[in-house]
Amino acid sequence: MLSIITQNMGSLCSKQRRYNEADAEENAQAAEIERRIEQETKAEKHIQKLLLLGAGDSGKSTIFKQIKLLFQSGFDEAELKSYIPVIHANIYQTIKILHDGSKELAQNETDSLKYVISNENKDIGKKLSEIGGRLDHPRLTKELAQEIETLWRDAAVQETYACGNKLQLPDCTPYFMDNLQRLSDSNYIPTKEDVLYARVRTTGVVEIQFSPVGENKKSGEVYRLFDVGGQRNERRKWIHLFEGVTAVIFCAAISEYDQTLFEDENKNRMIETKELFEWVLKQPCFEKTSFMLFLNKFDIFEKKILKAPLNACEWFKDYQPLSTGKQEIEHAYEFVKKKFEELYFQSTTPDRVDRVFKIYRTTALDQKLVKKTFKLVDETLRRRNLFEAGLL
Protein backbone atom coordinates (compact mmCIF):
# COMPACT_ATOMS: atom_id res chain seq x y z
CA MET A 1 0.00 0.00 0.00
CA LEU A 2 2.80 2.37 0.98
CA SER A 3 4.57 1.72 -2.29
CA ILE A 4 1.36 2.48 -4.22
CA ILE A 5 0.95 5.78 -2.34
CA THR A 6 4.59 6.60 -2.97
CA GLN A 7 4.18 5.83 -6.68
CA ASN A 8 1.05 8.02 -6.89
CA MET A 9 2.82 10.88 -5.13
CA GLY A 10 5.76 10.53 -7.53
CA SER A 11 3.37 10.57 -10.44
CA LEU A 12 1.65 13.70 -9.12
CA CYS A 13 5.00 15.45 -8.58
CA SER A 14 6.08 14.49 -12.10
CA LYS A 15 2.84 15.87 -13.54
CA GLN A 16 3.24 19.05 -11.47
CA ARG A 17 6.78 19.48 -12.82
CA ARG A 18 5.49 19.05 -16.36
CA TYR A 19 2.70 21.57 -15.73
CA ASN A 20 5.24 24.02 -14.26
CA GLU A 21 7.55 23.52 -17.25
CA ALA A 22 4.63 23.99 -19.65
CA ASP A 23 3.57 27.14 -17.78
CA ALA A 24 7.13 28.47 -17.83
CA GLU A 25 7.37 27.78 -21.58
CA GLU A 26 4.01 29.44 -22.17
CA ASN A 27 5.05 32.45 -20.09
CA ALA A 28 8.33 32.69 -21.98
CA GLN A 29 6.48 32.58 -25.31
CA ALA A 30 4.02 35.25 -24.12
CA ALA A 31 6.92 37.43 -22.93
CA GLU A 32 8.67 37.00 -26.30
CA ILE A 33 5.47 37.99 -28.15
CA GLU A 34 5.10 41.04 -25.88
CA ARG A 35 8.75 41.97 -26.49
CA ARG A 36 8.32 41.69 -30.27
CA ILE A 37 5.11 43.74 -30.21
CA GLU A 38 6.90 46.40 -28.17
CA GLN A 39 9.86 46.38 -30.58
CA GLU A 40 7.57 46.63 -33.61
CA THR A 41 5.59 49.45 -31.98
CA LYS A 42 8.82 51.34 -31.29
CA ALA A 43 10.02 50.67 -34.84
CA GLU A 44 6.70 51.89 -36.28
CA LYS A 45 7.09 55.15 -34.37
CA HIS A 46 10.37 55.77 -36.19
CA ILE A 47 8.88 55.14 -39.63
CA GLN A 48 8.00 58.35 -41.45
CA LYS A 49 4.85 58.08 -43.56
CA LEU A 50 5.03 59.75 -46.98
CA LEU A 51 2.01 60.14 -49.23
CA LEU A 52 2.57 60.47 -52.98
CA LEU A 53 -0.36 62.39 -54.47
CA GLY A 54 -1.18 64.03 -57.80
CA ALA A 55 -3.52 63.86 -60.77
CA GLY A 56 -3.38 61.02 -63.29
CA ASP A 57 -0.27 60.99 -65.53
CA SER A 58 1.65 63.31 -63.19
CA GLY A 59 4.58 60.87 -62.98
CA LYS A 60 3.89 59.59 -59.45
CA SER A 61 4.31 55.94 -60.35
CA THR A 62 7.60 56.62 -62.15
CA ILE A 63 8.90 58.32 -58.98
CA PHE A 64 7.74 55.25 -57.03
CA LYS A 65 9.63 52.90 -59.39
CA GLN A 66 12.74 55.08 -59.10
CA ILE A 67 12.64 54.73 -55.29
CA LYS A 68 12.54 50.94 -55.67
CA LEU A 69 15.55 51.09 -58.01
CA LEU A 70 17.52 53.61 -55.93
CA PHE A 71 16.91 52.58 -52.34
CA GLN A 72 15.86 48.93 -52.54
CA SER A 73 17.16 45.96 -54.52
CA GLY A 74 15.45 47.10 -57.73
CA PHE A 75 13.68 44.62 -60.01
CA ASP A 76 14.69 40.97 -60.26
CA GLU A 77 14.47 39.11 -63.58
CA ALA A 78 10.95 37.81 -62.89
CA GLU A 79 9.72 41.34 -62.16
CA LEU A 80 11.41 42.68 -65.28
CA LYS A 81 9.80 39.94 -67.40
CA SER A 82 6.39 40.77 -65.92
CA TYR A 83 6.62 44.13 -67.70
CA ILE A 84 6.87 42.56 -71.19
CA PRO A 85 3.08 42.40 -71.77
CA VAL A 86 2.71 45.91 -70.29
CA ILE A 87 5.30 47.41 -72.66
CA HIS A 88 3.89 45.57 -75.68
CA ALA A 89 0.38 46.77 -74.75
CA ASN A 90 1.71 50.36 -74.46
CA ILE A 91 3.09 50.09 -78.00
CA TYR A 92 -0.13 48.71 -79.52
CA GLN A 93 -2.29 51.26 -77.69
CA THR A 94 -0.02 54.12 -78.77
CA ILE A 95 -0.05 53.22 -82.46
CA LYS A 96 -3.85 52.89 -82.27
CA ILE A 97 -4.12 56.41 -80.79
CA LEU A 98 -1.93 57.75 -83.59
CA HIS A 99 -3.83 55.92 -86.36
CA ASP A 100 -7.28 56.84 -85.05
CA GLY A 101 -6.12 60.38 -84.27
CA SER A 102 -4.92 60.92 -87.84
CA LYS A 103 -8.35 59.89 -89.16
CA GLU A 104 -10.07 62.27 -86.74
CA LEU A 105 -7.75 65.18 -87.63
CA ALA A 106 -8.22 64.46 -91.37
CA GLN A 107 -11.98 64.94 -90.89
CA ASN A 108 -11.89 67.98 -88.61
CA GLU A 109 -8.83 70.12 -89.39
CA THR A 110 -8.76 72.76 -92.13
CA ASP A 111 -5.48 71.47 -93.61
CA SER A 112 -6.86 67.93 -93.44
CA LEU A 113 -4.86 66.39 -96.31
CA LYS A 114 -1.62 66.26 -94.31
CA TYR A 115 -3.29 63.90 -91.83
CA VAL A 116 -4.39 61.36 -94.45
CA ILE A 117 -2.39 58.14 -94.16
CA SER A 118 -0.81 56.98 -97.43
CA ASN A 119 -2.70 54.30 -99.42
CA GLU A 120 0.06 51.71 -98.99
CA ASN A 121 -0.15 52.02 -95.17
CA LYS A 122 -3.94 52.12 -94.76
CA ASP A 123 -4.37 48.35 -94.37
CA ILE A 124 -1.49 48.18 -91.89
CA GLY A 125 -3.10 51.01 -89.92
CA LYS A 126 -6.48 49.32 -89.84
CA LYS A 127 -4.92 46.03 -88.67
CA LEU A 128 -2.83 47.68 -85.92
CA SER A 129 -5.77 49.78 -84.72
CA GLU A 130 -7.82 46.60 -84.30
CA ILE A 131 -5.01 44.94 -82.30
CA GLY A 132 -4.60 48.07 -80.15
CA GLY A 133 -8.30 47.96 -79.26
CA ARG A 134 -8.18 44.43 -77.85
CA LEU A 135 -8.17 43.60 -74.16
CA ASP A 136 -5.47 40.96 -74.69
CA HIS A 137 -2.59 41.99 -76.91
CA PRO A 138 -0.31 39.54 -78.70
CA ARG A 139 3.40 39.41 -77.96
CA LEU A 140 5.25 41.86 -80.19
CA THR A 141 6.93 39.98 -83.04
CA LYS A 142 9.56 41.25 -85.48
CA GLU A 143 6.91 41.31 -88.24
CA LEU A 144 4.44 43.37 -86.18
CA ALA A 145 7.25 45.67 -85.01
CA GLN A 146 8.20 46.30 -88.65
CA GLU A 147 4.59 47.18 -89.51
CA ILE A 148 4.36 49.55 -86.53
CA GLU A 149 7.63 51.19 -87.58
CA THR A 150 6.32 51.61 -91.13
CA LEU A 151 3.13 53.28 -89.91
CA TRP A 152 5.05 55.41 -87.38
CA ARG A 153 7.21 56.80 -90.23
CA ASP A 154 4.18 57.70 -92.37
CA ALA A 155 4.10 61.48 -92.89
CA ALA A 156 0.47 61.72 -91.71
CA VAL A 157 1.26 59.87 -88.47
CA GLN A 158 4.22 62.18 -87.83
CA GLU A 159 1.93 65.19 -88.34
CA THR A 160 -0.53 63.61 -85.93
CA TYR A 161 2.23 63.03 -83.37
CA ALA A 162 3.08 66.75 -83.60
CA CYS A 163 -0.52 67.39 -82.43
CA GLY A 164 -0.09 65.04 -79.47
CA ASN A 165 -1.54 67.55 -77.00
CA LYS A 166 -4.94 67.10 -78.71
CA LEU A 167 -4.81 63.34 -78.18
CA GLN A 168 -4.33 61.20 -75.08
CA LEU A 169 -0.83 60.27 -76.26
CA PRO A 170 1.52 58.84 -73.60
CA ASP A 171 4.93 60.43 -72.97
CA CYS A 172 6.63 57.08 -73.69
CA THR A 173 5.70 57.26 -77.42
CA PRO A 174 9.06 58.31 -78.97
CA TYR A 175 11.07 56.06 -76.64
CA PHE A 176 9.16 52.89 -77.52
CA MET A 177 8.92 53.75 -81.23
CA ASP A 178 12.70 54.23 -81.38
CA ASN A 179 13.32 50.83 -79.77
CA LEU A 180 10.81 48.60 -81.59
CA GLN A 181 13.35 46.09 -82.94
CA ARG A 182 14.92 45.49 -79.51
CA LEU A 183 11.53 45.31 -77.77
CA SER A 184 10.31 42.68 -80.27
CA ASP A 185 13.29 40.34 -79.87
CA SER A 186 12.20 36.79 -78.96
CA ASN A 187 14.64 36.81 -75.98
CA TYR A 188 13.70 40.32 -74.88
CA ILE A 189 14.00 41.15 -71.18
CA PRO A 190 13.07 44.74 -70.23
CA THR A 191 15.79 47.06 -68.98
CA LYS A 192 15.34 49.32 -65.95
CA GLU A 193 14.79 52.21 -68.35
CA ASP A 194 12.07 50.28 -70.20
CA VAL A 195 10.30 49.67 -66.89
CA LEU A 196 10.48 53.37 -66.00
CA TYR A 197 8.85 54.27 -69.33
CA ALA A 198 6.19 51.53 -69.05
CA ARG A 199 2.76 53.02 -68.36
CA VAL A 200 0.36 51.24 -65.99
CA ARG A 201 -2.49 53.16 -64.44
CA THR A 202 -2.21 52.85 -60.65
CA THR A 203 -5.33 51.39 -59.05
CA GLY A 204 -5.67 50.95 -55.32
CA VAL A 205 -2.72 51.60 -53.03
CA VAL A 206 0.88 50.41 -53.30
CA GLU A 207 3.57 51.01 -50.69
CA ILE A 208 7.32 50.70 -50.29
CA GLN A 209 9.59 51.05 -47.26
CA PHE A 210 13.06 52.55 -47.74
CA SER A 211 15.86 54.59 -46.25
CA PRO A 212 17.59 57.18 -48.47
CA VAL A 213 21.27 56.50 -48.99
CA GLY A 214 23.76 59.16 -47.92
CA GLU A 215 27.37 59.50 -49.04
CA ASN A 216 28.72 56.69 -46.86
CA LYS A 217 25.79 55.38 -44.87
CA LYS A 218 22.02 55.40 -44.57
CA SER A 219 20.44 58.49 -43.09
CA GLY A 220 18.90 56.58 -40.22
CA GLU A 221 15.38 57.66 -41.20
CA VAL A 222 13.01 55.01 -42.49
CA TYR A 223 10.19 56.05 -44.80
CA ARG A 224 7.06 54.26 -45.91
CA LEU A 225 5.90 55.71 -49.22
CA PHE A 226 2.31 55.23 -50.38
CA ASP A 227 1.32 55.67 -54.04
CA VAL A 228 -2.34 55.84 -54.97
CA GLY A 229 -4.18 56.12 -58.29
CA GLY A 230 -4.45 59.70 -59.54
CA GLN A 231 -7.50 59.37 -61.76
CA ARG A 232 -10.71 60.86 -60.34
CA ASN A 233 -12.36 57.50 -59.68
CA GLU A 234 -9.34 56.43 -57.58
CA ARG A 235 -9.25 59.43 -55.25
CA ARG A 236 -11.93 58.16 -52.88
CA LYS A 237 -9.31 55.60 -51.75
CA TRP A 238 -6.98 58.39 -50.56
CA ILE A 239 -8.89 59.53 -47.49
CA HIS A 240 -8.13 56.55 -45.19
CA LEU A 241 -4.39 57.17 -45.74
CA PHE A 242 -4.46 60.80 -44.62
CA GLU A 243 -3.93 60.19 -40.88
CA GLY A 244 -0.43 60.27 -39.37
CA VAL A 245 1.32 61.51 -42.51
CA THR A 246 4.79 63.05 -42.08
CA ALA A 247 4.85 64.62 -45.53
CA VAL A 248 2.79 64.85 -48.69
CA ILE A 249 4.77 64.65 -51.91
CA PHE A 250 2.52 66.23 -54.53
CA CYS A 251 3.44 65.67 -58.18
CA ALA A 252 2.40 68.27 -60.75
CA ALA A 253 3.21 67.61 -64.40
CA ILE A 254 4.10 71.12 -65.57
CA SER A 255 4.33 70.01 -69.21
CA GLU A 256 0.59 69.32 -69.37
CA TYR A 257 -0.58 72.95 -69.44
CA ASP A 258 -2.03 72.51 -72.96
CA GLN A 259 -3.55 69.03 -72.50
CA THR A 260 -6.92 67.72 -71.33
CA LEU A 261 -7.81 64.96 -68.89
CA PHE A 262 -8.02 61.29 -69.81
CA GLU A 263 -11.35 61.16 -67.90
CA ASP A 264 -12.76 64.48 -69.14
CA GLU A 265 -11.57 65.92 -72.45
CA ASN A 266 -13.16 69.29 -71.63
CA LYS A 267 -10.97 69.82 -68.55
CA ASN A 268 -7.44 71.20 -68.80
CA ARG A 269 -4.95 69.02 -66.91
CA MET A 270 -3.16 71.93 -65.23
CA ILE A 271 -6.45 73.37 -63.96
CA GLU A 272 -7.30 69.92 -62.54
CA THR A 273 -3.88 69.79 -60.83
CA LYS A 274 -4.38 73.30 -59.39
CA GLU A 275 -7.80 72.40 -57.95
CA LEU A 276 -6.55 69.08 -56.57
CA PHE A 277 -3.51 70.69 -54.89
CA GLU A 278 -5.77 73.33 -53.35
CA TRP A 279 -8.15 70.64 -52.03
CA VAL A 280 -5.31 68.58 -50.50
CA LEU A 281 -3.82 71.66 -48.81
CA LYS A 282 -7.11 72.37 -47.04
CA GLN A 283 -7.57 68.90 -45.54
CA PRO A 284 -7.85 69.22 -41.70
CA CYS A 285 -5.57 66.24 -41.05
CA PHE A 286 -2.66 67.97 -42.87
CA GLU A 287 -2.55 70.86 -40.39
CA LYS A 288 1.08 70.12 -39.43
CA THR A 289 2.03 67.96 -42.41
CA SER A 290 5.03 68.97 -44.51
CA PHE A 291 4.41 69.55 -48.23
CA MET A 292 6.94 68.70 -50.93
CA LEU A 293 5.81 69.89 -54.35
CA PHE A 294 7.48 68.15 -57.28
CA LEU A 295 7.13 70.25 -60.45
CA ASN A 296 7.61 67.20 -62.64
CA LYS A 297 8.23 66.45 -66.34
CA PHE A 298 10.58 69.41 -66.71
CA ASP A 299 12.34 67.56 -69.56
CA ILE A 300 9.13 67.70 -71.64
CA PHE A 301 8.26 71.21 -70.43
CA GLU A 302 11.55 72.73 -71.65
CA LYS A 303 11.01 71.34 -75.16
CA LYS A 304 7.33 72.24 -75.34
CA ILE A 305 7.47 75.78 -73.97
CA LEU A 306 9.34 77.07 -77.04
CA LYS A 307 6.58 75.78 -79.34
CA ALA A 308 3.31 75.88 -77.36
CA PRO A 309 2.39 79.09 -75.48
CA LEU A 310 2.07 78.76 -71.70
CA ASN A 311 -1.00 81.02 -71.69
CA ALA A 312 -2.92 78.26 -73.50
CA CYS A 313 -3.88 77.35 -69.93
CA GLU A 314 -6.47 79.67 -68.35
CA TRP A 315 -4.52 79.75 -65.05
CA PHE A 316 -1.48 81.11 -66.91
CA LYS A 317 -3.35 83.56 -69.16
CA ASP A 318 -1.38 86.53 -67.76
CA TYR A 319 1.96 85.02 -68.78
CA GLN A 320 4.10 87.19 -71.08
CA PRO A 321 7.09 85.61 -72.86
CA LEU A 322 10.25 87.68 -72.51
CA SER A 323 12.97 85.95 -74.46
CA THR A 324 13.93 82.81 -76.41
CA GLY A 325 15.90 79.64 -75.75
CA LYS A 326 17.13 78.81 -72.23
CA GLN A 327 16.20 82.22 -70.84
CA GLU A 328 12.58 81.75 -71.90
CA ILE A 329 12.50 78.23 -70.43
CA GLU A 330 13.69 79.54 -67.05
CA HIS A 331 11.33 82.50 -67.19
CA ALA A 332 8.35 80.22 -67.90
CA TYR A 333 9.36 77.75 -65.18
CA GLU A 334 9.73 80.51 -62.57
CA PHE A 335 6.29 81.85 -63.54
CA VAL A 336 4.70 78.40 -62.97
CA LYS A 337 6.60 77.96 -59.70
CA LYS A 338 5.38 81.36 -58.47
CA LYS A 339 1.78 80.43 -59.33
CA PHE A 340 2.02 77.31 -57.16
CA GLU A 341 3.67 79.26 -54.33
CA GLU A 342 0.86 81.82 -54.39
CA LEU A 343 -1.72 79.04 -54.43
CA TYR A 344 -0.07 77.37 -51.42
CA PHE A 345 -0.16 80.54 -49.29
CA GLN A 346 -3.68 81.47 -50.43
CA SER A 347 -4.88 78.00 -49.39
CA THR A 348 -2.99 77.90 -46.07
CA THR A 349 -4.70 79.31 -42.98
CA PRO A 350 -2.59 81.40 -40.52
CA ASP A 351 -2.37 78.52 -38.01
CA ARG A 352 -0.66 76.35 -40.66
CA VAL A 353 1.93 78.78 -42.01
CA ASP A 354 4.76 77.19 -39.99
CA ARG A 355 4.46 73.82 -41.72
CA VAL A 356 7.30 72.95 -44.09
CA PHE A 357 6.76 73.73 -47.79
CA LYS A 358 9.41 73.04 -50.43
CA ILE A 359 9.33 73.05 -54.23
CA TYR A 360 11.59 70.83 -56.36
CA ARG A 361 12.12 70.78 -60.12
CA THR A 362 11.97 67.13 -61.15
CA THR A 363 12.15 64.78 -64.10
CA ALA A 364 10.92 61.41 -62.86
CA LEU A 365 12.91 59.53 -65.53
CA ASP A 366 16.21 61.10 -64.44
CA GLN A 367 17.56 58.76 -61.76
CA LYS A 368 20.38 61.07 -60.59
CA LEU A 369 17.97 63.98 -60.18
CA VAL A 370 15.41 61.86 -58.29
CA LYS A 371 18.15 60.59 -55.95
CA LYS A 372 19.39 64.13 -55.30
CA THR A 373 15.82 65.35 -54.72
CA PHE A 374 15.03 62.62 -52.19
CA LYS A 375 18.26 63.33 -50.31
CA LEU A 376 17.10 66.96 -50.04
CA VAL A 377 13.63 65.83 -48.89
CA ASP A 378 15.29 63.55 -46.31
CA GLU A 379 17.47 66.39 -44.99
CA THR A 380 14.47 68.72 -44.75
CA LEU A 381 12.39 66.20 -42.80
CA ARG A 382 15.27 65.29 -40.47
CA ARG A 383 15.81 68.97 -39.67
CA ARG A 384 12.11 69.34 -38.95
CA ASN A 385 12.21 66.35 -36.59
CA LEU A 386 15.23 67.79 -34.76
CA PHE A 387 13.48 71.18 -34.50
CA GLU A 388 10.33 69.60 -33.07
CA ALA A 389 12.46 67.66 -30.57
CA GLY A 390 14.04 70.96 -29.44
CA LEU A 391 17.47 69.99 -30.74
CA LEU A 392 17.71 72.85 -33.25
Phi, psi for 28 (deg, rounded to 5): -65, -40
Whether residue 233 is annotated as binding a ligand: the answer is no
Is 199 marked within a binding site?
yes
**Was 66 annotated as part of a binding site?**
no
Annotated binding-site residue? 299: yes
Cβ-contact 119, 154 below 8 angstroms:
no
C-alpha span between 285 and 280 (Å, rounded): 10
The reported pLDDT for the residue numbered 355 is 83
Is 230 annotated to bind a ligand? Reply is yes
Is residue 116 marked as binding?
A: no
CA distance 162 to 352: 44
Is 185 flagged in the annotation as binding? no
Give the CA distances from residue 350 to residues 287, 289, 354, 355, in Å, rounded to whole numbers and listed in that order: 11, 14, 8, 10
> Half-sphere exposure of 4 toward its Cβ, with a 13 Å CA cutoff?
1
Residue 258, marked binder: no
| pLDDT attached to residue 34 | 54
Residues 6 or more apart in contact with residue 76 via CB below 8 angstroms: none
pLDDT at site 151:
98
- 62 assigned ligand-binding residue: no
Is 125 marked as binding a ligand? no
Residue 259 DSSP one-character state: -
Other CB atoms within 10 Å distance of the CB of residue 7: 10
Ligand-binding annotation for 355, yes or no, is no
> What's the pLDDT at 348?
85
298 is in an annotated binding site: yes
Residue 231 annotated as lining a ligand binding site: yes
Distance CA 358, CA 287 (A): 16
Each residue's pLDDT, cut to its tens digit, for the chain (392 residues) gives: 545 545 555 555 555 555 566 566 666 665 655 555 455 444 456 789 999 999 989 999 999 999 999 998 889 999 999 999 999 999 999 999 999 999 999 998 888 899 999 999 999 999 999 999 999 999 999 999 999 999 999 999 999 999 988 899 999 999 999 999 999 999 999 999 999 999 988 777 889 999 885 444 455 689 999 988 756 666 666 766 778 899 999 999 999 999 999 888 899 999 999 999 999 998 888 888 999 999 999 999 999 999 999 999 999 999 999 888 999 999 999 999 999 999 999 998 777 767 899 999 999 999 999 999 999 999 999 888 777 767 76
Residue 49: beta bridge partners? 224
Residue 352 assigned ligand-binding role:
no
**How many H-runs (helices) and E-runs (strands) does the chain carry?**
14, 6
Q: Is 196 annotated as a binding residue?
A: yes
